[in-house]
Structure 1
Amino acid sequence: MNRKNKWIIYGIGLSLLLGGCMNMDNANGNGVDEKKNTQDEVKDQYARVQDYKGEGYFLNNGDENDKIAESKRSEVEKAVKDFFLEKYKTEVKVHNLVGNVDGVTVFVESTGPVHFYSYAIVPINKGTEEIMTKEVRTQEGEVERGIREGLYRLIFEEEFKNLDTYLEKVVSEEDVVGRTVESLQNVGGSGSMTPYYSMSSLKSDEAIQPVYDLYMEDHETAIDTLKKAYEGDSFNPDSLRINIMLFMEEKNVDPSETVMKRVVKDIEEMSALPKGTYRVAVNDNGVHKESFEGFKDNSIEQEIIRNE
């Protein structure tokens, strides 16, 4: 499922969930006060994007394992660091531990020049409270995706700097903001991310594959050598998606069509930006605490393809 469809489906699901709560209140004959309480509860699920650092992030049935993992944090951290070093020859720093039904999800950030966020899952034996250090795993393809996206940023450093500078300018001139760095560190875990955008890449991306293979063979490979390995003629813009996510600065303000039009026009017209498929989304001020989600029913979005 591509990322765009994922966001849309999530928004529809949340809408149906909230709508179901409202309808249930009415069906039970509850009055205005009960309806207001339900609305207040819904609002309480969201935090101001400027304040959100991952507090309240939740994985189903993870409370018990969360406590076990925190009590053995040093053991969990060592297991994850060893796993990334052994399997991916990559040093990481651990930011956050969140219990899940089978163990603990550990959010990490790479420390080398190929920068990305990711996570690992460490199983826990609930009966013995043993940290299963030899069974650390990740979701298939997630770390590899993060490395590919980090390599894109590395070999197209100037183009991504231009994009970063442009979005910082938009935020300084318009009534919009981005996510906090702390939220990316603590609950992001999704490849190459900045406060203003994330990336998603396909495993079948032929253009970056030779760069990836060369880098995994030798992490000390010079950047110039990596750049030469890139097969630009094979690039498909759908293989690299750049998901720009901006949020309104003030609460209770609908996403700005003016900001959307400006960003879309600029992305279409500016030179020296990364190639790829851009998804520009402008959201209200709220972030769903339990899921890190910012895209909602009232969010607006548009897609742009840059292949030159």
Structure 2
Amino acid sequence: MTTPYLTPYREAHPLKTKKLVIPTLILSILLGGCSILENDHQGTSSTKKEQEKHYENNFISVQKYTGQGYWSENGERNNRIAEENRNQVIQAVKHFFQTNYKTEVKVHNLVGNENGITVFVESIGELHFYTYAVVPIKGNKILTDRVWTQKEDVDDAIRTGIYALVYDQQFKNLDNYIQKLVLKDPIIGLRQEAVEKVGGNGYSTPYYYVSMTRDTVSVDLNNLYLKHPKWSSDEWKKALTTAKIDPKLVSIAVQLYMKKPDEKPNKSIMNEIVSGIEKGKAFPQGSYNIVLHSNRINKATARGEEKNELERANPNQIIKY
């Protein structure tokens, strides 16, 4: 999922987290006296402290993360404008989704970006998904009549909502499996608040999110949705009775975290997660990509630490037919 102004945590790659770029001091040790060595030692010690401070300022335990500190480059000014005009922005976004997608939404979070405000929303009703829209700002004026979004991102979100609605029992089976793991092993998912405030990832839970390309299903789901936005789950199931699905084009990204602070991802637990999904019965059809992170998450990007993760991912993902 990509927007030129702000990147929800799915962006770039559904499995990878961006590395935190920590500046390092490269010392050129030349021939010299003790004073040079002492200065070098002090410089190295100072840099290490800066790195540690930077880490503590930017990373937080996943249990404590509710979306606080989520950041977009050059968005500070528009953050203030967003809060000062919160009701106006919310109404504009609700109108946008009702008009363009025949969908009632709940607004969870407003985040300033360089040229406007990114607004994270959740659909209201039986069909469930998360997505976002952007409200442009010119000068100090909020352009409520020019709300926009990346159409393919919203279309993707709608498709995943339909998919989860039609195959609800299979998703319940997946949910039950992961919840049993979380109760048994020292692992955890995101807090629900983080999913709502900085997700925008289609059909999502604290443990995984789903993405589908337009040609995943032999039926045009988006066109059907615009024609029948109020269809019930039974009506959707009936409509897709003979539809063909390509599981390789359904991405189910499982993201889990270690429960204890400063604990590295456990290989035995990772193997257990992978084995359970490989052997699991009646799970949703799809391409499963699994990542087990350490306990810390980057506040600004809502991504786990890439240097501390175990993954079973493309091109070795698990395909469930």
**TM-score normalised by length of structure 1:** 0.90
Structure 2 counterpart of 1:160: 171
Measured against aligned partners, the alpha-carbon deviations of 1:110-161 in whole angstroms (never above 9, x if no partner) come to 11111111111001122xx221011000013111111000001100000001
Amino acid at match of 1:221: W
1:171-218 per-residue CA deviation (whole Å, 9 max, x = no partner) reads 0000000000001111111111100001111122234x3444322201
Letter in 2 for 1:87: N
Q: CA deviation at 1:7?
A: 5.5
Flag the 1:38–1:26 CA change in 2: closer, same or farther, 3 A: farther
Aligned to 1:118: 131
CA RMSD, aligned part only? 2.2
How many Å apart are 1:5 and its aligned residue? Answer: 6.9
1:146 is the counterpart of 2:157: yes
Match of 2:91 among 62, 75, 78: 78
> Which structure carries more relative contact order (alpha carbon 8 Å, separation 6+)?
2
Partner of 2:214: 203
Pair 1:185 & 2:192 matched: no
Query: What 5-or-longer segments of structure 2 have no aligned partner?
Result: 3-9, 29-38
- Which amino acid is 1:238 matched to? K
* Mapping for residues 216-227 of structure 1, pairs under 5 Å: 216-227=226-237
In structure 2, the CA distance between the partners of 1:262 and 1:8, relative to structure 1 (3 Å rule), is closer
Aligned to 2:72: 59
Determine if the alignment matches structure 1 residue 266 to structure 2 residue 276: yes
Q: Tell me the distance in 2 between the aligned counterparts of 1:26 and 1:39.
A: 19
Which letter does structure 2 place at the counterpart of 1:113?
E
**Under a length normalisation based on structure 2, what TM-score does the superposition of the two structures give?**
0.87
Q: Determine if contact 2:157/2:201 at 8 Å carries over to the other structure.
A: yes
Residue pairs, 1:7-26, within 5 angstroms: 10-11=17-18, 14=19, 17-18=21-22, 21-22=23-24, 24=25, 26=27
Q: Is 1:48 the counterpart of 2:58 in the alignment? A: no
Q: Return the offset for 1:256.
A: 1.1
Q: Which amino acid aligns with 1:254?
A: K
Aligned with 1:288 (options 292, 298, 307): 298
Partner residue, 2:13: 6
1:175 aligns with 2:182: no
Deviations 1:2-25 (A, max 9, x none): 9797267654xx26x23xx12x36
The residue aligned with 2:248 is: 238
Distance in 2 (CA, whole Å) between partners of 1:118 and 1:37 is 36
Rounded to whole Å, the distance in 2 between the matches of 1:55 and 1:307 is 35
**Where is the helix percentage greater, Structure 1 or Structure 2?**
1
Per the TM alignment, residue 95 of structure 1 is displaced from its structure 2 partner at its CA by 0.9
Structure with the greater alpha carbon radius of gyration: 2
* Higher alpha-carbon deviation: 297-306 or 28-37: 28-37
Structure 1: 5+ residue stretches without partners: none
CA–CA distance in structure 1, aligned partners of residues 58 and 222 of structure 2: 40
Does structure 2 retain, via aligned residues, the 8 Å contact 1:7–1:295? Answer: no
Distance 2:230 2:162 in 1: 13
CA distance, structure 2, for counterparts of residue 219 and residue 10 of structure 1: 35
In the TM superposition, residue 251 of structure 1 has moved relative to its aligned partner by: 1.0
* Aligned residues with identical type, % of pairs: 36
2:119 to 98, 106, 114: 106
CA distance in 1, matches of 2:182, 2:193: 18
Q: Is the contact made by 1:120 and 1:136 (CA closer than 8 Å) also made in structure 2?
A: yes
8 A contact 1:214–1:221 mirrored in 2: no
Partners of 2:120 and 2:199 within 8 A in 1: yes
Compared CA separation, residues 165 and 278, structure 1 to 2 (3 A):
same
CA distance in 1: counterparts of 2:320 and 2:48, whole angstroms: 50
Query: Deviating runs (4+, > 4 A) in structure 1?
Result: 1-5, 7-10
Conservation of the 8 A alpha-carbon contact between 2:291 and 2:312: yes
Taking the aligned partners of 1:148 and 1:130, their CA distance within structure 2 comes to: 34
Contact 2:248 2:319 in 1 (8 A): no
